[in-house]
Structure 1
Amino acid sequence: MKQSKKTKIIAFTFLLLMAILWIFPILWGIFTSFKSEEEIITAGVSFLPIHWTVANYSELLFNNASSPIIKWFTNSLIIAVGHTILVLIVVSLAAYGYTRLQFKGRDFLFALLLGSMMFPSVVNLIPLYSIMDTLGWVNNLLAVIVPGAAGVFNIFLVRQFVLGIPKTFDESARIDGANEFQIFYLIILPLIRPVLTVVALFSFTGAWNDFLWPSIVLNDIEKLPITPGLQLLQGQYLTYPGIGTAGALIALVPTFLLYLFAQKYFMQSMSLSSGVKG
């Protein structure tokens, strides 16, 4: 008992230190964004602002025609939400097909799909750009929304969850006259909602934070999402760290709120067999 209590104390202390190390830079950035540029440069190392100001946010949001962060923010929302919806549709249908439908070469095709994960995604950049150019999607938000909709890891994750749902549910529905789409929509889809929430969380965050691909396929400043836009902002305000920090914090808000409200579903889906117990 004493050994168990000691272990818990050590684990709690370690996790507390990790939490402090993680949250301290964020708090530093938040307080820095409310300091004037003069205070940041001349006040030395100070955690809290001496004089609180929203000038950095005002300059960034309302007096910055060359770095339209509101437009970038809107573009990121369109990209992230559109990509997430597309991912949920494609992944859920693919997972259902790989678990419930019987067709020749199904297992081989899935193994081949998993094998594609061995290749780094960077090798796809040139062929993917060529495809986007052929479709006429270069410098179009569709070029950022559509690619990656059939993510192999997401399909694998949802497939493992569906495997934990007894097939007796399907058989009972077929006896009652349900077709494949009705089985998927009325039975499977509600049961896999927890894992789809996690997939949505990962997809939204990945699309929101993506930097490399949007920087390649989008060349109009007005069409950039916020992550590559922050790179331009950093170059423009290199000597103004307060404004740069304010921009980074604005970009952080949606993903933070998403994790905050979706954490219970994230914990629920940690067990891939938690959908239904047979």
Structure 2
Amino acid sequence: MNKIPTFKLNDGTEIPSFGFGVFQIPADGSTYKAVLEALKLGYRHIDTAAAYFNEAEVGKAIKNSGILRNEIWVTSKLWLQDYAYEDAKKAIDTSLNKLGLDYIDLYLIHQLYGKVDEAWKAMEEAKEAGKIRSIGVSNMTPKLWNKWVPKFATMPSVNQVQFNPYFQQRELREIMADAHVTLEAWAPLGQGNHNLFEEPILKAMAEKYGKDVGQIILRFEHQEGVVVFPKSVHEARIKSNKDIFDFELTSDEMDAIRGLDKNGEGMHDPDAPGVEEMLLNAFDIHAND
């Protein structure tokens, strides 16, 4: 079993470069089963969020895996209902309780609207208290970066955004590189975009290396220094997604995939009018409290 490499964050912690995401996996036992399977197959990085409603099943799987806590990296995220300072402090403790953990390895602000500065202060304090090891942001565009990061006392360690060969976030990555902030990719496989998986250059590389197109995409992203955590509930896919550490793309092949970038054609635009209101009204994460 190939050991998953780590990337060093700007706060000195080592994050597994490859993980398992649980977005949209139901909390009906499906999340528990999928996370337990992923851990058995060698995954050591699990990405969840308060707004995924499945933190408790993630925590249960970790507890029942038999793997030492310090060998598993757990990420969760603060939803924008809870950005006021006191609400954020309470939400951090709620996530810890649902996960059944003494600390969370990485905690992110899920969306950058509202009382972001208050949420960040609460997260900084939780880090100081040992409740969180690293703090970061998610869905932060260059515009949102310039609005918020200059106000932060602590530089984010991570920015989790949409990223795949069709949407390579070049402007954002330049800003992040200057600040030594690591990019994490959600939808690293383009959410199964048919056109992406039919790209001739990707299919040719898959044939050359005896891999599938998804593995070529994930390997490209890994070599770009991007943390990825593809989601699946199927054992064979959970296993094959991770099988990308026994080959390396050449510099010419990397350049060819970089050439697939469509300059900003993403599925989600955090800067678009009305997105903040839409997300705030999407659901009530305290409905079952």
Q: Do these two structures clear the TM 0.5 threshold for a shared fold by scoring above it?
A: no
Greater Rg by CA: 1
Higher relative contact order (CA 8 A, sep 6+): 1
By percentage of residues, which structure has more strand? Answer: 2
Q: TM-score, normalised by structure 2?
A: 0.21
